Amino acid sequence: MKFLAVCTPRKDAPMDRFGALVLDEAEALRSLKSQGSLEEAWSPGRPGAVLILEATSESEAGDIVARLPLAVAGLIEFELTPLHDLGI
């Protein structure tokens, strides 16, 4: 099942902490891509991301995003939306 994860900086997140974790975040995303859990990752041109995940449940998708370095550090929050094939 596919999920859309929209990741945004927490309102109280110190922006200077993002830079220290960018390389770790990129490596974690590459790892998820190689495992097949991450299908696509897009940047809005500022801190945050839009991810297309493959997971067996919404709970699993949430766990995937919650383990990303920026989430572990409490710098981002995310919203998950299940995606359904329109069959077209």
What is the mean pLDDT of the segment spanning 29-43?
A: 97
pTM for the model stands at: 0.90
pLDDT higher than threshold 90 for residue 25: yes
How big, in percent rounded to 5, are the helix, strand and coil portions of the chain? 40, 30, 30
Task: Name the amino acid, one letter, at 85.
Answer: D
Domain boundaries, the chain: 2-48+61-78
Give whole-number Cα distances, 25 to 31, 46, 66, 87, in Å.
Answer: 10, 14, 12, 33
List pLDDT tens digits, range 46-78: 888 999 999 999 999 999 999 999 999 999 999
pLDDT higher than threshold 90 for residue 16: no
